[in-house]
Amino acid sequence: MIGALVLVSVLQQAPKAFVDSSAAAAPAEEGVHFHAALEVGALALSAGTDATGVDGFGFAFPRLGVRGGEEFEFELGAPLRLRLLDQEPLQAQPDYGGRLRREDWDERSDFAQVLRSLRIGRDDGRFQLRAGDFSSYSLGAGWLVNRYNNRISPDYHPAGANFTAYLGPTRVELFASDVLAARLFAGEVRLDLGRVLSNTETAFDRFLLSVDVAHDFGRAGGTSPALSAASVGLQAGLVRNEKLQLWVQGAAGARADTLAESVPDYGATVGLVVAGKPRENVEISGRLEGRRQGGLFRFGAFGAGYELSRFSGVGLSELPLSQEQLPATFSGYGELVATVSQGRAEDLELLASASGEYFVTTGRVDADAVLQLQLPGGRTMAELRAILTDLTGKPRYSVAAEVRHRFVPALYGIFMGGTEHFPQANGSLRHGFMAGLGVGVDFER
């Protein structure tokens, strides 16, 4: 199941989200709201070991959530997959109780999946804490952590956390991919140079200096080599008004965990970010960068498919990303985000986001795309995610889709399917698939 996407668009990578001051402010939500849901159905999932075949499961997914205005909400849920058809009945480690899928609950991190989401603080407040799954998270401008998905592995279900605070002219952002284990930790300190050097409001939020660091201990969801990186970046707003934002930005980055002098573990990038609002209900943003990188470092290393690349950088049984060396090369990176929001629950809602990078010397192509769609009437919703790695060399494809259709106000159907990659004890990946069909009931008060 894809779950709720947490997309950080180019607009959010800039210091302030694009705001149309002419639009009427939405009324503040008051009171405490409760919602509950129960989803049940059948699921087919490839065997995650060296055995071939497909296992059959029945699944039950109860959820309960509370929302208190605009400053607090959380949701708890226990996704349970009960084995009905076993292609490997003589496995060394039987499932819990004979039926509950062991791989879903066999390490400490898996128990955090009960926390589906948590938010404390407003989106426009001085601080905010979020926790749960992160399916497309970017730290700052995304020079190190870019569109990262912490639950792409079918046997690893952590809860991550993200904390953001504004302290005078300084913005601090901290991220942990797994709150219960030594995994990926990252942080950014961003200084608003305009507020430090000038008292003129036109200079505020226009010149930004940021320092990013990230380190993966690699000790949960399977053991993988550690990886550290750091970057320094500068962003300057050339145009900032109600209809258009134009930024120029650049950064330098390096690996922080290697002293191999013969390997160029550093890189530099320069590019443009543009964001516009051509219509009242349409927002479009784009990012274009030219990069010089190679060796053991590349920008956006902690990317959409990192939870697989940390075992095999490309393909299924190659070197892990932390040890994968690229020849010194130039590359071009592009990203495009488009949203359509009518403002009413029954209207068309669309979010499309895509990114891609082309490496000049090797011809390597990486891509990532996300689509969220709600059809007019508000009854049918669909999500699609595709993560494509090294399309021209040793390709790896990760695709997931989910469709929901509401038949009556409290009853809806679910279809989900896609590819899966199971990390093996020897560090390789095993390719498989997943498909499921179910129904759900929910209510809110």
In tens, the pLDDT along 68-92 reads 988 999 999 999 999 998 766 545 5
Residues in CB range of 37: below 8 A, 6 or more apart = 61, 62, 63, 440, 441, 442, 443
pLDDT at 11 over 60: no
CA atoms within 13 A on the CB side of 210: 32
Which of 110, 23, 112, 124 is CA-nearest to residue 71? 124
Kindly state the tokens that stand for 223: 């053991």
The whole-angstrom separation of Cα 27 and Cα 6 is: 23
- 247-268: b (≥16 Cβ within 10 Å) or e: bebbbbbbbeebeeeeebbbbe
Closest alpha carbon to 131 in 181, 73, 188, 184: 73
Taking the mean position of all CA atoms in its chain, how far away is CA 409?
Answer: 30
Per-residue pLDDT at 202: 84
**What digits encode the pLDDT tens for the residues 34-60?**
999 999 999 999 987 765 689 999 999
Residue 384: closest CA among 406, 414, 349, 352: 352
pTM of the full structure: 0.91
User: Domain residue spans in the chain?
Assistant: 33-444
The residue that leads in pLDDT, 324 or 13, is 324
Q: In this structure, what are the phi and psi dihedrals at residue 272, rounded to the nearest 5 degrees?
A: -125, 145
Per-residue pLDDT tens for 250-309? 999 999 886 555 566 889 999 999 999 998 899 999 999 999 998 889 999 999 999 999
The 10 Å Cβ neighbour count of residue 22 is: 7
- Please give the DSSP secondary-structure letter assigned to residue 196: H
Report pLDDT for 365. 97
Residue 142 CA to residue 333 CA, distance in Å, equals 12
| Residue 5, pLDDT above cutoff 50 | no
pLDDT at 262: 53
Looking at residue 326, its pLDDT comes to: 87
